[in-house]
Amino acid sequence: MNTHPRLEIDGLIAELMTLAQISEAEPPIVTRVVFGEADRRARAYLKGLCAAAGLTVREDAVGNTFARWQGSDAELAPVGTGSHIDAIPNAGLYDGCVGVLGGLEAIRVLQHLGFKPRRSIELVIFTAEEPTRFGIGCLGSRMMANVLTPSQALALRDKEGRGLEELRTQAGFAGTLESVALPLGRFHQFIELHIEQGPLLEQEGIDLGLVTHIAAPASVRVVIEGEGGHAGARLMPGRKDALAAAAELILALETAARSTGAIDTVATVGVCEVFPGAVNSIPSRVRLETDIRDIDGARRDCVIDALHAACGEVSGRRGVAIAEELVNADPPATCDAEILAALEASAVEAGKSYKKMVSRAYHDSLFMARIAPVAMLFIPCRGGVSHRPDEYARPEWIGSGVHVLARTLAGLAA
């Protein structure tokens, strides 16, 4: 595609702003929890835009949405692009949505240029990338890749005790959950356009990030049971303080992550729930929720093993009971060399600067990698800020991403 794409960037920005108004909170805050009223209205808005672009739209049993620009050879697997439109509470308007509306704009650019794809190009809007409703991220893509089975999905509950079956039915989605899983080869290749959610591209003045690896999280839940008592009357030698034990585990996890010697190993304790939570009472029970990530699965698992060893040592020395539960341990993904080469060539043709980088946040592409070759294309976001109302990507940054995405989709679909 030698012709420069005609980007309707003002129109794309207007669509992003319109989508941001569809929220459970007052603007500029964006909150769209999957299957909620705002989520349903946002889906309807996107489906209308896709239909206006002449795309054929279908939805699966959990609301994953597929908008296809039919290619000349219907026998060939399509090239995919897309992201998500659900948003955590108190979020911004670019996370996920740039990949959806940017993907749609890339298709419209190619249509305007008179490009005729041989392979179909299919825009995907994934259901529930965010974990807000059910406490698990990437619900739709997990099910598409059959990482989350129908029986596991049916067991999910939100904070009010409502299950997936009830909520998806109320939202108007029908069909069997078994039908959500896609076979290998359903997509020929898949590219996700996304804001970086980090500061590197902006700091270095680089237009685009070509993602080579997607880090994957493991989550370990740790519950420490000690003995409570009066903070004044219970003397120190006989104490079994659950929070003191938890503090040692938190530091042990930090030490384990630092000791790998790899900058890509990270570990976080994001939840520390203390019972009974009174200033004059010795904590008798603590629940920790951990997040352990790396682009190297074996190295990440060594950190989990170190946490397990620390639990055993602290339990024996302090006389507390410690229970561990591995909530999930998703494998990292390596992006496809052929797609990366196509993105790199497109960036050069478009005159855009780029760097190869790692995605430390995980995305639906992590699970799409189970069923198709994938790659991700990052654009900068101001200050690296994301998941906040002040999340921002400049129009020219978005335009660069859409320009390179359109060129790459054309090459892969030709």
* % of residues, the chain, pLDDT over 70: 98
In a domain, 2, yes or no: no
Question: What pLDDT score was predicted for residue 3?
Answer: 44
229 burial class (0-12, 13-18, 19+ CB within 10 angstroms)?
Answer: middle
What does the alpha-carbon distance between residue 281 and residue 234 come to, in Å, rounded to a whole number? 10
Contact 127, 138 (CB under 8 A): no
CA dihedral of residues 191, 194, 197, 199 (deg, nearest 10): 90
Which stretches of 278-341 are assigned E, i.e. beta strand?
A: 281-282, 285-294, 321-329, 333-334
Residue 208 domain boundaries: 9-215+332-413
In a domain, 159, yes or no: yes
Q: Is the dihedral of CA 87, 91, 93, 95 positive or negative?
A: negative
* % of residues, the chain, pLDDT over 90: 97
In a domain, 67, yes or no: yes
Pick the last residue of a domain from 301, 329, 357.
329
State the amino acid at position 189 in one-letter form: Q
Lowest mean pLDDT among 1-5, 86-90, 131-135, 311-315: 1-5
In this prediction the pTM is: 0.92
Question: What pLDDT score was predicted for residue 9?
Answer: 87
What is the Cα gyration radius of the chain?
23
Q: Is the pLDDT of residue 275 over 80?
A: yes
Question: What pLDDT score was predicted for residue 7?
Answer: 67
| CATH number assigned to the domain comprising residue 261 | 3.30.70.360
User: How many whole angstroms from its chain centre is CA 211?
Assistant: 14
In a domain, 1, yes or no: no
Pick the last residue of a domain from 308, 329, 350.
329
The stretch 123-151 carries a mean pLDDT of 97
Pick the last residue of a domain from 329, 355, 382.
329
What does the alpha-carbon distance between residue 85 and residue 126 come to, in Å, rounded to a whole number? 8
Q: Are residues 38 and 171 in the same domain?
A: yes
Q: 279-297: buried (b, 16+ CB within 10 Å) or exposed (e) per residue?
A: eeebbbbbbbbbbbbbbbe
| CATH number assigned to the domain comprising residue 356 | 3.40.630.10
In a domain, 99, yes or no: yes
